Amino acid sequence: MEPVPCTPPSQDYSPVDDLWFDDGNVVIAAKSRLFRVHRSILSLQSSVFRDILSLPASEEQDMYEGHPLIELPDDGEEVEHFLKAIYLPQYFPSAKGPNDLPFEAVVGALRLAHKYDVPFLRRRALRVFSAEYILDIDKIETMPTPWWRRSDPHREDDVTWSKFVTEILLAREVGALWVLPQLLFEASYEHVERLVSSQLSQADVNNCYAGFQKVGEAKLLGTLLFQELVNAGCNYKCFQNPNGIMFALEAAGKLSDPIQLFSRDIEQRTRVAVLCAKCKERIIERYRQWRKDFWTSLPGQYSLPDCKELKEMRRKALEVFFTCRGLIDSCIWTPLA
Ligand SMILES: [Zn+2]
């Protein structure tokens, strides 16, 4: 029998121990990382790999230690997360769970599950990714604290901003439009130089400019809201004493800060303010309405479908379904806000 031809690799590769199986029969290369895996597993999970691997072998086929070598143009770290998620069920949760899953793992698994068509992993990764963003502002109080990002839109450091851009680009790439109202809203506050020099599309940069104008309108509405509350008065004349006036001024000022959409600060301050119970109730009710109206109008501001349609898109993307093989994925997950 003729020896199997072996084409020397074009660069220095290093095998990844966890994904180097002795009985693997295909070698995947991504940048400098090498993975010896199984044709059957890749073909079972991914229609794209199934097509690639079903092509008849050509004489030009690169080989590595006697096995076909497939070079992917993707980032090596992303491919490692992607393959680990396919091979190791415990590595990638079927719902948002352990907080120690690295951001890069979510990005890598989601991007490549979408690109190479791995439905179960795309759905899992979308669930974890989507759990960090709100669509229903009324449920904000039940939202978990985001673990890979802050809700604070005033991002100053380059690392956070680059992560933020990655999230927007990823959402566009995989069609997860339902995370974009929050992301674009926060991006609208970024410095113009950063927006312009980022990898964001021109359309999204324009969206951010338009969003910033929208926020200006919200500030005005927030101020008017407190004026209205003050003018409404009450039997106890809450807003005719220095405490009440000071509270109203501070609260109106706070409404000019977009982070109030993600914070309960105004509600908490209202509860402890020197005001009568009726005024407190009125302020919290009107404030919640203001927040809801503003939030509901956001998707349109960014040329996105409305909240109802976005929720429906999310439901379809995340839903678990049955096939002749049985339940494709675990359905233990909590509804998203
Ligand atoms: Zn009062």
Q: What does 269-303 look like in DSSP terms, one character per residue?
A: HHHHSSS-HHHHHHHHHHHHHHHHHHHHHHHHHTT
Q: How far is the CA of 138 from the centre of ligand 1 (A)?
A: 25
d(CA 188, CA 281): 32
Task: List, in sequence order, every residue forming a beta bridge with 68; answer none if it has no partner.
Answer: 63
Letter for the amino acid at 197? Answer: S
Q: How far is the CA of 240 from the centre of ligand 1 (A)?
A: 10
Please name which of 277, 235, 272, 232 lies closest in space to residue 250, comparing C-alpha atoms.
Answer: 272
Instruction: Render 24-90 in DSSP notation, one character per residue.
Output: --EEEEETTEEEEE-HHHHHHH-HHHHHHHHSPP-TT--EETTEEEEEESS-HHHHHHHHHHHH-TT
Q: How far is the CA of 293 from the centre of ligand 1 (A)?
A: 25
Helix axes 277-301, 265-272, angle to 10 degrees: 170
d(CA 186, CA 273): 29
| pLDDT tens, N- to C-terminus, the chain (337 residues) | 444 444 445 567 899 999 999 999 999 999 999 999 999 999 999 999 999 999 887 888 889 999 999 999 999 999 999 999 999 878 887 765 555 678 889 999 999 999 999 999 999 999 888 887 777 777 766 655 444 454 444 445 666 788 889 999 999 999 999 999 888 888 887 888 889 999 999 999 998 888 777 777 777 777 777 777 777 778 888 888 888 888 888 887 777 666 677 777 788 888 998 889 988 998 888 888 888 888 888 898 888 999 999 999 999 998 865 444 444 444 444 455 5
Q: How far is the CA of 230 from the centre of ligand 1 (A)?
A: 9
Q: Does domain 14-129 have CATH number 3.30.710.10?
A: yes
Q: How far is the CA of 97 from the centre of ligand 1 (A)?
A: 44
Letter for the amino acid at 80? Answer: E
Letter for the amino acid at 189? Answer: Y
**φ and ψ at residue 296, rounded to 5 degrees:** -65, -30
